[in-house]
């Protein structure tokens, strides 16, 4: 089912890691639509994964001389989506003007490929840590989740669950109370104060203490988290971004950035994040209603849920319809 969410279609949506698009074309389902990504000398390109001739999936074809070749009858499409060759045409016959692929705007940034389905080319968000030499960046994902995209984002912004779902890692059950914090909206930025979170062993020394969390909403499906250790000024940020596959199917990706030496490999960092995410997964896959209620009367919020309330209000104001009630 095609999901005509105009807000998301007008945004940049993560499709895959840059390294996933190699010589072979790659199919990714975004908002219920099959999209083919392929790479040539000019970079990465995205088309609707559909040949206008007989509806074959172009992703089953190959890239030849920089053109995407349909697997069924060999029509060739250049980077602009224009058909440049139809093998069956008798000599002297020109290619019909309608022989085109449907092209989508896409770009590579921060290690990922992003697509803009409405071709309106909106401003891209800034994630400065990615090019900051003081930070080490580790890409995370894909993680498939059978839940609607905003539910996953909200789970990421939820501070109250840390001492329960992630007990022993990101919190302890003896310290469930979340310190008071506010959500600020300044010049379009939506972010929290620093929130003190008591953790059993935040720096690997075996010592329990408070660390400070902040959250920021960047885009409807892209949010930022920062953890700061007050003793060392060590900072870790996670940019979470969700690929909306369907109303109740998502793929989570992230960038984890560290301004300190973690003493762990990229694989170990990813494995830890996978483990934490696996703790959240059964929760978000079983929440009812599946869609995130944007009517604030539907669920019962506490003061510490302020950031998720701000997120719901933000989606409502933007008019996001996918996976929201
Ligand atoms: Fe693509 Fe025929 S379906 S060339
Ligand atoms: Co969690």
For residue 235, report the phi and psi dihedrals to the nearest 5 degrees: -130, 140
Half-sphere exposure of 91 (CA within 13 A, CB side): 0
The pLDDT assigned to 174 comes to 86
Instruction: Give CA–CA dist 225/11, Å, rounded.
Output: 21
What's the complex ipTM?
0.97
Instruction: Give CA–CA dist 267/256, Å, rounded.
Output: 12
- Distance (angstroms) between ligand 1 centre and the Cα of 69 equals 9
The pLDDT assigned to 168 comes to 86
The pLDDT assigned to 225 comes to 96
pTM of the model: 0.95
Model confidence pLDDT, tens digit, residues 161-205 = 998 999 888 888 888 888 889 999 998 899 999 999 999 988 888
Indicate the length of the chain as a whole number: 325
Instruction: Give CA–CA dist 221/121, Å, rounded.
Output: 17
The pLDDT assigned to 1 comes to 64
Pocket of ligand 1 (CB under 6 A): 51, 53-54, 56, 70, 72-73, 75
Going by C-alpha positions, the residue among 34, 284, 27, 236 that lies closest to residue 140 is 236
Describe the crossing of helices 306-318 and 149-157 by its angle, rounded to 10 degrees. Answer: 150
Most ligand 1 atoms within 8 A of CB, residue of 48, 72, 86, 101 to mutate: 72
The pLDDT assigned to 244 comes to 96
- Distance (angstroms) between ligand 1 centre and the Cα of 113 equals 26
- All domains in the chain, ordered by first residue: 6-116 (2.102.10.10), 128-318 (3.90.380.10)
- Distance (angstroms) between ligand 1 centre and the Cα of 56 equals 6
Point out the ligand 1 atom lying closest to the alpha carbon of residue 75.
4
Helix and strand totals (H; E) in the chain: 5, 18
Residue 236 region by backbone torsions, left for phi larger than 0, else alpha for psi between -120 and 50, else beta = beta
The pLDDT assigned to 85 comes to 97
């Amino acid at each position: 089912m095609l999901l005509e969410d105009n807000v998301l279609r007008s945004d940049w949506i993560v499709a895959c890691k840059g390294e996933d698009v190699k010589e072979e074309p790659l199919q990714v389902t975004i908002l219920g639509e099959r999209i083919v990504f392929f790479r040539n000398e000019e970079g990465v390109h995205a088309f609707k994964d559909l040949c206008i001739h007989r509806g074959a999936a172009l992703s089953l074809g190959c890239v030849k001389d920089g053109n995407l070749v349909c697997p069924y009858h060999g029509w060739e499409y250049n980077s602009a989506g224009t058909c440049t060759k139809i093998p069956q045409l008798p000599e002297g016959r020109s290619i019909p003007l309608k022989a085109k692929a449907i092209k989508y705007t896409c770009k590579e940034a921060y290690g990922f490929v992003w697509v803009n389905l409405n071709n309106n080319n909106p401003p891209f968000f800034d994630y400065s840590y990615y090019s900051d030499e003081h930070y080490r960046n580790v890409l995370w994902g894909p993680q498939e989740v059978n839940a609607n995209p905003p539910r996953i984002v909200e789970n990421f912004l939820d501070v109250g669950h840390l001492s329960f779902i992630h007990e022993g890692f990101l919190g302890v059950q003896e310290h469930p109370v979340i310190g008071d914090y506010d959500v600020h909206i300044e010049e379009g930025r939506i972010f929290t104060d620093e929130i003190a979170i008591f953790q059993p062993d935040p720096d690997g020394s075996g010592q329990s203490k408070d660390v400070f969390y902040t959250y920021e909403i960047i885009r409807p499906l892209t949010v930022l988290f920062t953890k700061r250790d007050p003793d060392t000024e060590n900072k870790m940020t996670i940019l979470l971004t969700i690929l909306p596959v369907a109303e109740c199917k998502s793929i989570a990706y992230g960038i984890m950035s560290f301004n300190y030496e973690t003493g762990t490999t990229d694989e170990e960092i990813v494995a830890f994040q996978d483990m934490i995410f696996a703790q959240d997964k059964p929760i978000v896959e079983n929440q009812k209603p599946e869609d995130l209620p944007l009517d604030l009367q539907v669920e019962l919020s506490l003061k510490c849920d302020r950031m998720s309330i701000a997120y719901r209000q933000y989606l409502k104001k933007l008019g996001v319809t996918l996976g929201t009630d």
